[in-house]
Amino acid sequence: MQLIPCPWCGPREETEFHYGGQAHVAYPQDPAALTDEAWARYVFFRDNPSGPFAERWSHSAGCRRWFNAVRDTRTYDLLAVYDAGEPMPDLGERDEVVS
């Protein structure tokens, strides 16, 4: 079972966490101003990269805080964790990160 480094609690087993999908998909400022298609993109469309992926996680059976993590979907390696609302950290020379 994978260990996920909660920014508040440290490494904990993955069963304590809840997955929240792609990070940095902001709720639109003015949904009413969006076309049906643009709104549907927000509601239904997410990236599905093979490689580093910025995701939302919640330590739901622990401190109950949401945070963001960059995870390599090929290896499950967690490359970085950072607070919700913060921009994704620079991961240097890694493969292109999809967010």
Partner 1 sequence: MSATFRLPTGGLIDRDTALRFTFNGRSMTGHPGDTLASALLANGVHAIGTSVKYGRPRGIVAAGSEDPTSLVQIEQPFPEPMLTATTVELYDGLVAHGLPGQGRLASEPDPARYDAKHVHCDVLVVGAGPAGLVAALTAARGGARVVVVDEQNQAGGALLGTREYLGERLSQDWAADIAAELRNTPGVLVLDRTTAFGVYQDGFVLALQRRTDHLGFDAPADAARQRVWRIRAKQTVLATGAHERPVVFADNDRPGIMLAGSARTFLHRYGVLPGTRAVVFTTDDSAYRAAIDLARAGMDVAMVVDARPAAPSVLAARCSARGIQVRAGHVVTGTEGGARITDAHVAPLPGTEGNPETVDCDTLLVSGGWNPVVHLFSQARGTLRYDSELGAFVPGEELPTVRVAGSATGALDLTSCLRQGRDAGHAAALAAGFAPVGEVELPVSGARTDERPGMVLWRVPGELREGAPDTRFVDLQRDATVSDVLRATGAGLRSLEHVKRYTTIGTAHDQGKTSGMITAGLVAEELGVELSEQRPTTFRPPYTPVSFAALAGRDRGELHDPARVTALHPWHVARGALFEDVGQWKRPWYFPRTGEDMDTAVLRECRAAREGVALMDGSTLGKIDLQGRDAGRFLDMLYTNKMSALKVGRIRYGVMCGVDGMVIDDGTVIRLAEDRFLVTTTTGNAAMVLDWMEEWLQTEWPHLDVYATSVTEHWATIPLVGPRSRDVLAELAPDLDVGNEAFGFMTWRDTVLDVGAGVPARVCRISFSGELAYEVNVTAWHGLAVWEALMAEGEKYGITPYGTETMHVLRAEKGYPIVGQETDATVTPQDLGMSWAVSKKKADFIGKRSHTRAENNRPDRKQLVGLLPVDPEIQLPEGAQVVGTDRLPDPPVPMLGHITSSYRSAALDRTFALAVVRSGHERVGETLYVPVGDDLVPVTVTESVLYDREGARRDG
Sites of contact with partner 1 (CB under 8 A): 1-3, 11, 18, 20, 26-28, 30-32, 34, 36, 39-40, 42-44, 56, 58, 60, 64-66, 75-76, 84-85
Query: In the complex, what is the shortest distance from the CB of residue 94 to partner 1, in angstroms, rounded to a whole number?
Result: 17
Nearer to partner 1, 15 or 95 (CB): 15
Look up residue 94 and give its two tokens: 């890694």
Query: In the complex, what is the shortest distance from the CB of residue 85 to partner 1, in angstroms, rounded to a whole number?
Result: 6
Q: Cα(93)–Cα(68) distance, rounded to whole angstroms?
A: 20
Q: Cα(61)–Cα(51) distance, rounded to whole angstroms?
A: 27
Minimal CA–CA distance to 60: which of 16, 94, 30? Answer: 16
